[in-house]
Chain A
């Protein structure tokens, strides 16, 4: 779902780097950094380890490998929480499968699903083994694409803005971060931008709770009538992040009701999906 000619432009550098920080949780005081869990990477062949690298101890030369069926014992012996084993030769098999199946006709997500299918096959024949074992579910591109088509309209941008007086952007506006996305007719992402492109059109902000409408108007002028707009501030997004994930759909609706989030437009189908998600979260 990534268009070949996707336009990625007018990114305010502060918006983009802060967005990545937001996703990584670096803006949220309640998030604690998890300590890295020790792990082991092994390349093996014919029951013997060719290479073993411990995340803390480094390379373990002449490593005694007990085999793929005794990884739990091995984890205990080496004091690690996870192990990845790669059979020497598996990567070549995997690459052969991937490279012989890929086509220029599909978009990158479609291509990615092909790669994932090959990965699943290699996991099934134990070329790639991860302990603790986590099965890779079968996921089809067509199913995901259909869901996306149901959820989001084509050619109508989705707008997301987080305001914060303490973090002005490159244009001096009180915007912590923003993101504007749009799908083309084939429901492939064909636009990724920020509010920076609206500045030459005269974007000004005094009170974000009123002026968010300016953003919607300018987005419409530049990229088409928005499908969805989500506006909040750093406090709002921080409070939302603190809510456990299963309850977030319900919380989203409450935040929208109490004005923590301004969601405009808020398409009915999304509202319904949120309500269903809220009910499932309750269970």
Chain B
């Protein structure tokens, strides 16, 4: 590949190109306005732009396409030329799914009228997308007939794009498909039950188990062939031995997604789209089934969640950025709100002024602003569709681009000493035991598992699918209350991903896969501090005996007076076992005992408390490299506050945007208006 992906951006011939970009939709803008609009985009300080390329807008009839021969707004080659002339770089997203608030999400209607191309519900019906301005049946990403249709589109668009790839042309990355999430329908028993999807399920089982005997032994079944295994249609598990079948079904749904993206990325490469990274974006921010960031990043070169936050949703925003920072090789947001579509709650300029630096604060190193230019079905961007600059918005984007360049914010490293892990198998159990099937959209992701999962224990001591979530939230808000900067991760990550952290935390229950138990022990043995609990797992995810983690623990020493917590030396490090479910916690309810416990654990792990603010509502995160230190301070409340920031001796904090400066020895007071993120350069005083 001539373009490499780094954790700070894209490397073009060894030179770092930060990914601060923005979207415009050429085909929705008057052809005569393209030049003026691209000039405006450059005036804002952007060097990279992004566009979807909609199949439905370019296809005239099956296999026949218009790239400007008939309609000037479809003149994709001319658009690419204009981008090239301005020495802008370009990200392209040719679908087939693009959403883009287009009716049918970019699929030609004729494809949605082909029954063999459509996804099937558990009852064999087409699966309808309830999105304005019209509901339509979703295609199946397992259907061979669908891929044959996509191939025609990729043939045509690939021929236009291939000669214009970097370094000959402006295109520096391509997105395979868009917002893959089974069309926001993430319940496991909703769809896709297309015959080709069932074939794919059987292939998955065969790849996973190789031997039918292994599968039969695990499922307690007597199938004569993998093709006899029926797809799961609802969860009727009663005992722990029933669970592997359902966990496999949820894992298959992840595999379905991986297979689709791998196939589409491969189809693009077959058409000569090589040498540039392939990327992807997710509508559901969190790394929950069917998303599997760790496995998907083996298929695409970079990826990230989309987000359209209002400033009141700061906790969700922070959590999302922490996931991206903990899981991605290049933590970026492929779609971040710059304006909004009318079916969504409005995202205002005031929201953007707060949420944009907040994303950087929590570890995001690249943002594509969606959209920089308004168009039909979109409002609130810095440039109107006729090229007018929107006052207020323009100043914001100019200032943002100047600040990120001046401080090289994408090159600095977020100082996060802790990693909060979630266990993929518990998340699969949550997905498998949902009562919210087959709909609604994203409901398993939006509701907490306690509100949508079955309450069965399946013979374990705990209701794992619910209690794992409660323990995770208790640790999350405990870390937050104790002012320990952290990222979020997943047990599918390799040991090397855990090792940079001084502290790793994972809720553990009755079962935990053997490789994960081994990985956690290895992390502690190498000197890390590992927090687990409330249970020591004694089974694997296949419900086979495994006590690796339990066996690694030596004699325990009590850590906290009020809570049953023990410290165990393991190799050069330690394991801290919290032996009971921690008290329920939320943003509004952070139990002091948990905060105290996390303070104590931070001490044991040797975590520094510099640059924290005293107020429990205020957040601080330090980013640094050899030359520069930048402290982000956020006030996510609706009233002004003063942050008393701890310093390392005599230091000064200078606001990168306003130029205000505060000096102090040991600590300094910084005024924080309501809903503000200050980006403060840290230097020696005087």
Q: A88 with B133: in contact, given A9-B375, A99-B126, A170-B391 (CB under 8 Å)?
A: no
Cross-chain contact A107 with B451 (CB below 8 angstroms):
no
State the CA gap A3–B103 with chains docked (Å): 10
Min C-beta distance of A28 to chain B, whole Å: 19
Contact A8 B127 (CB under 8 A): no
B residues less than 8 Å from A102 (CB atoms): 126, 128, 135, 137
- Please provide the chain B residues from 637 to 677 with a CB less than 8 Å away from any CB of chain A in the complex: none
Q: Assess the B435–A88 pair: CB atoms within 8 A.
A: yes
Contact with A along B109-123 (1 / 0, CB 8 A): 100110000000111
B295 adjacent to chain A (CB < 8 Å): no
Interface-forming stretch among A12-20, A137-145, A254-262? A12-20
A-contacting 9-mer, from B34-42, B341-349, B506-514: B341-349
Whether A243 sits at the interface, judged by CB under 8 Å, is: no
Q: Does B684 contact A (CB under 8 A)?
A: no
Contact across chains for B439 and A3 when beta carbons are under 8 A apart = no
Report whether B125 and A104 are in contact in the complex, using a CB–CB cutoff of 8 Å.
no
B537 at the interface (CB under 8 A from A): no
Judging by beta carbons under 8 Å apart, are B435 and A59 in contact?
no
**With A102-B128, A104-B113, A170-B390 as contacts: A92 and B376 at CB distance below 8 Å:** no
Chain A 1-34 interface residues, beta-carbon cutoff 8 Å to B? 2-13, 16-17, 20
Judging by beta carbons under 8 Å apart, are A2 and B435 in contact?
A: no
Q: Write out the residue numbers on chain A whose beta carbons fall within 8 Å of the beta carbon of B450.
A: 58-59
Q: Enumerate chain A residues within 8 angstroms of B379, measured Cβ to Cβ.
A: 11-13, 16
Question: Is the pair B134, A111 in contact by a Cβ cutoff of 8 Å?
Answer: yes
A11-B342, A59-B450, A108-B132 as given contacts; A5 in contact with B103, CB under 8 Å: yes
- Determine if A187 is an interface residue (Cβ-Cβ < 8 Å): no
A51 and B438 form a contact (CB under 8 A): no
Binds A, one of B170-178, B313-321, B381-389, B609-617: B381-389
Residues from chain B with a CB closer than 8 A to the CB of A2 are 132-134
Chain B stretch 154-196: residues in CB contact (< 8 A) with chain A: 189-190
* Minimum CB distance partner of A12 in chain B: B379
Give the chain A neighbours of B134 by CB distance below 8 A.
Answer: 2, 4, 104, 107-108, 111
Could you tell me the distance between the alpha carbons of A132 and B465 in the complex, rounded to whole angstroms?
33
Complex contacts, A5 vs chain B, CB 8 Å: 103, 133
Is there an interface contact between A53 and B451, defined as CB atoms closer than 8 Å?
Answer: yes
Q: Is residue B437 contacting chain A, with contact meaning CB distance below 8 A?
A: yes
Across the interface, A99 reaches (CB within 8 A) one of B127, B342, B385, namely B127
B451 touching A8, Cβ below 8 Å: no
Complex CA gap A2/B130 in Å reads 13
Chain B interface bracket (under 10, 10 to 19, 20 to 34, 35 or more):
35 or more
| Residue in A17, A88, A92, A108 whose beta carbon sits within 8 Å of that of B123 in the complex | A92
Check A104–B346 contact: CB distance below 8 A.
Answer: no
The complex places the Cα of A96 from the Cα of B126 at a distance, in Å, of: 9
CB 8 Å contact bits of B380-411 with A (1 = contact, 0 = none): 10001110101110000000000000000000
Interface residues of B in 426-441 (CB under 8 A from A): 435-439
**Of B128, B132, B376, B452, which one neighbours A51 at CB under 8 angstroms?**
B452
Question: Is A61 close to B, CB under 8 A?
Answer: yes
Residues of chain B lying within 8 A (CB to CB) of residue A205: none
Q: Are A92 and B384 in touch, CB under 8 angstroms?
A: no
- CB closest residue in chain B, given A43: B435
Tell which of B103, B134, B377 has the most Cβ of chain A within 10 Å. B134
- A98 within 8 Å of B (CB atoms): yes
> Per DSSP, are chain B's interface residues mostly helix, strand or loop, or mixed?
loop
**Inside 8 A of B132's CB, which chain A residues have their CB?**
2, 108
Is B329 engaged at the interface, CB distance under 8 Å to the other chain?
no
Q: Is A100 an interface residue (CB 8 A)?
A: yes
- How far apart sit A41 and B340, CA to CA, in the bound complex (Å)? 32
A104 contacts which of B109, B130, B377, B392 (Cβ < 8 Å)? B109
B339–A13 CB distance below 8 A: yes
Q: How far is the CA of A100 from the CA of B123 in the complex (A)?
A: 9
Q: Is A16 a contact partner of B455 (Cβ separation < 8 A)?
A: no
Number of interface residues of A (CB under 8 A): 43
User: Cβ of A20: which chain B residues have Cβ within 8 Å of it?
Assistant: 346
Determine if A50 and B135 form an interchain contact, defined as CB atoms under 8 angstroms apart.
no
B residues near A115, Cβ cutoff 8 Å: 130
Contacts of B133 in A (CB 8 A): 2-6, 107-108
Select from chain B the residue with minimum beta-carbon distance to A115. Answer: B130
Is there an interface contact between B346 and A99, defined as CB atoms closer than 8 Å? no
- The reply to whether the CB of A270 lies closer than 8 angstroms to some CB of chain B is no
**Within the assembled complex, what's the spacing in Å between the Cα atoms of A12 and B122?**
43
In the complex, B454 has a CB within 8 A of chain A: yes
CB-based nearest B residue for A92: B438
A200 within 8 A of B: yes
Complex Cα–Cα for A102 and B136 (A):
9
Within 8 A of B (CB), among A22-68: 43, 50-51, 53, 58-59, 61-62
Best-surrounded residue of B109, B122, B342 (most CB of chain A within 10 A): B342
Q: A20–B348 Cα gap in the complex (Å)? A: 13
Bound complex: CA A108 to CA B129 (Å): 11
| C-alpha gap A4/B112 in the complex (Å) | 15
- Give Cα distance in the complex from A12 to B342, angstroms: 12
Taking CB atoms, residues of chain A closer than 8 Å to B339 are: 13
Q: Mark B47-64, 1 if CB is under 8 A from A, else 0.
A: 000000000000000000
Q: Is A10 within 8 A of B135, CB to CB?
A: no
A233 within 8 A of B: no
Contact: B435 with A50, CB < 8 Å? yes
Nearest-neighbour CB distance to chain A for B137, whole angstroms, equals 7
- Given A8-B376, A170-B390, A62 and B455 touching (CB < 8 A)? yes
Give chain A interface residues in 91-134, CB to chain B under 8 Å.
91-92, 95-96, 98-100, 102, 104, 107-108, 111, 115
Please tell me if the beta carbons of B391 and A91 are within 8 angstroms of each other in the complex. Answer: no
Whether the Cβ atoms of A13 and B348 lie closer than 8 Å is yes
Chain B residue with minimal CB distance to A193? B376
Residues of chain A lying within 8 A (CB to CB) of residue B136: 104
Considering the complex, give the chain A residue whose CB is closest to the CB of B136: A104
**Residues of chain B within 8 A of A111, CB atoms compared:** 134-135
The B-contacting residues of A in range 77-99, CB under 8 angstroms, are: 88, 91-92, 95-96, 98-99
Q: Which of B340, B346, B385 contacts A10 (CB 8 A)?
A: B385
A residues in contact with B385, CB < 8 Å: 9-10
- With A and B bound together, what is the CA distance between A111 and B130 in angstroms? 9
Shortest Cβ-Cβ A-B pairs, 7 listed: A11-B379, A13-B380, A99-B125, A17-B346, A9-B376, A96-B123, A8-B377
A-B pairs with beta carbons under 8 Å apart, 9 shown: A2-B132, A3-B133, A4-B103, A8-B376, A11-B379, A13-B380, A59-B450, A170-B392, A172-B391
Known contacts A16-B346, A95-B439, A96-B125, then 8 further A-B pairs from the complex at CB < 8 Å, ordered by chain A residue? A9-B374, A9-B377, A11-B379, A99-B123, A104-B112, A104-B134, A108-B134, A200-B386
